[in-house]
Each structure stands twice: as structure tokens, then as C-alpha cells.
Amino acid sequence: MKKSICIIDDEFRSRERIRDILSDSEQYSIVGEADNGRAAVELIDRTLPDIVLLDIKMPGLSGFQILQEATHKPSVIFITAYNEHAVRAFDVHAVDYVLKPFQDKRLFDALARIPKVPVPGDTILQQLGTMVEGTVQPKQYLKRFTVKDRFEFKVIDVQDIDFFSTEDSFVFLHTSGVRYVVEKSLAQIEESVSPELFFRVHRKSLVNLNRVERILPWGRGRYVLKFSNEERVHVSKEKTRELKILMGLL
């Protein structure tokens, strides 16, 4: 049985993006949307959703006020552009706190937490173990890679990496037109770098969005990313829409 979801956000594009991400899901069903606080309270108590995806800054009532006024108490995932409310969000037993902009995987990771929420009496803080002295401890991402360069090792800052690619059984780090072999899988690298900086545009390519200089149409709704050194990376059809959102094209 699918879990029911209400989307509460005053920005149409944000609601549209979430709808698009969940449109093919076999686990979740969207049962309603609201773009202001009062409508949100009515929606929650009328549809009794399992999950609410909730923005914090809303017209009429804030996300926190919505939760206080609603009689029904669903699982809550905050989706917002503001990180300063994270501590309070966990105080009201939110399952997760997702910062905009986010990738599809980040939302599904948040939803996957819901079955693991502790029974009443425990707190989400105890479960996650992420609250220390009033702050949420962010995940630590790699800031540099060390690669072998002939008879020595070269240290490369992640900001200087154009993209990672796979070829045969090798993974390559590309920077300024030069590539180096990396002793990790592309999946391992994707987990170790910041999702705000790197995006998997293809099963064989992970790109640094800040290093992209041009986005070139490639026919049938597809695109190619061009870097300053003239290297190019193709974007898969499945990743095109998400890339356009991240790059401000939608």
C-alpha cells in the first residue's frame, strides 16, 4: 500500500518539482497540495496523510504553526531554503530537514528514514545522533583527492576538478584537460563529495557543476556540458530535467 503525501509549499515550482520526482513512485502517492498555512491545516486534517513535505516560511502560518494547529500528526519532512531552523525542526520530531536545492536522491533518502522513526517516548535526536550542543552536525565531504602522477603523488582540490568518468574498468579524475586514475568506484566518489557541487549526469560521468562553462543542445531534448578546456560530457535523457533545475533552466 502506498504511503500518502501532502506537499505544502508556497512556491509552485517547488511543488511541481516534488510531484515530478514522485510521479513514478510505487511507494508514495500525493493526495493534496497547499500553498498557504490555513489551507495546509485544513488539508492535513481532511486527507490524514502519512507524510507531509513541509516548507517553513509560508503565508498565513509558518510550518511550525501548521503542525501545532493540525489535529492529525503525520510524519514530517521539512523542505526549505533556510538552514537556521534545523534545530527547532528536530525538536518537533521532524524525520528529516532537506535544504533546497536538492537532488532526487536526497528526497528519497529522507523518505526512507520514515519507517525507522522511533516509537513515541524516544526522540528523533536520539535516533539520528546528530544533535550536539544545539547544532546539526553536517556530513563531512572530501575536500581534495590525491592521485598518482608518474613517480609522485598530486593533491587536487575538489574545486579544481571538472568531472569524473569511467572507461572500461578505470575511473578517471579530469582537471584542466588532464586526467588521472582514481582508485575508487564512481559510486564511492559520488558518496564522498558534496551533492551541492557534484551531479551524476550519466552512469559514467559525475560532474562539478561549478566548472561547467556551456550547456549545448544535442538534439531530442538532450544536452552536452562543455568545460573551459573544451572537454565535453553528455547528459543522459533521464538526468536532463534534474540538471536543468539545478542549473536554473527551469
For 45, 65, 71, 154, 191, the CA distances from 56, given in Å and listed in that order, are 18, 9, 18, 44, 28
Mean pLDDT across the stretch 61-82?
89
Q: Read off the CATH number of the domain in which 28 is found.
A: 3.40.50.2300
> DSSP characters for the chain?
-PEEEEEE-S-HHHHHHHHHHHTT-SSEEEEEEESSHHHHHHHHHHH--SEEEE-SS-SSS-HHHHHHH-SS--EEEEEES-GGGHHHHHHTT-SEEEESS--HHHHHHHHHTGGGPPPBTB-HHHHH--EETTEE-PPP---EEEEEETTEEEEEEGGG--EEEEETTEEEEEETTEEEEESS-HHHHHHHS-TTTEEEEETTEEEEGGGEEEEEE-STT-EEEEETTS-EEEPPGGGHHHHHHHTT--
Query: Does residue 108 share a domain with residue 172?
Result: no
Rounded to two decimals, the pTM is: 0.51
Query: Does residue 149 share a domain with residue 130?
Result: no
Mean pLDDT across the stretch 165-186?
93
> DSSP characters for 50-99?
SEEEE-SS-SSS-HHHHHHH-SS--EEEEEES-GGGHHHHHHTT-SEEEE
Mean pLDDT across the stretch 211-229?
91
Cα–Cα distance between 173 and 171 in angstroms, integer? 7
Mean pLDDT across the stretch 48-59?
92
> Of 110, 136, 162, which marks where a domain is finished?
136
Query: Does residue 195 share a domain with residue 91?
Result: no
Query: Does residue 151 share a domain with residue 97?
Result: no
> Of 136, 169, 199, which marks where a domain is finished?
136
Query: Does residue 113 share a domain with residue 149?
Result: no
> What pLDDT shows up at residue 211?
95
Query: Does residue 173 share a domain with residue 109?
Result: no
Range of the domain at 24: 3-136
> What pLDDT shows up at residue 1?
82
> Of 105, 136, 167, which marks where a domain is finished?
136
Each residue's pLDDT tens digit, 15-50: 998 999 998 899 999 999 999 999 999 999 999 999
Query: Does residue 20 share a domain with residue 121?
Result: yes
Least confident of 34-48, 82-96, 170-184, 222-236: 82-96
Confidence of residue 194 (pLDDT cuts 50, 70, 90): confident
> What pLDDT shows up at residue 248?
80
Considering the chain, what is the average pLDDT of its residues?
A: 85
Query: Does residue 126 share a domain with residue 20?
Result: yes
Q: Read off the CATH number of the domain in which 171 is found.
A: 2.40.50.1020
Mean pLDDT across the stretch 168-197?
91
Query: Does residue 114 share a domain with residue 159?
Result: no
Query: Does residue 130 share a domain with residue 13?
Result: yes
Query: Does residue 209 share a domain with residue 116?
Result: no
Each residue's pLDDT tens digit, 114-144: 865 444 434 444 443 443 344 444 567 899 9
> What pLDDT shows up at residue 86?
65
Total number of domains in the chain: 2
> What pLDDT shows up at residue 131?
37
Query: Does residue 153 share a domain with residue 49?
Result: no
Give strand pairing partners of 33.
7
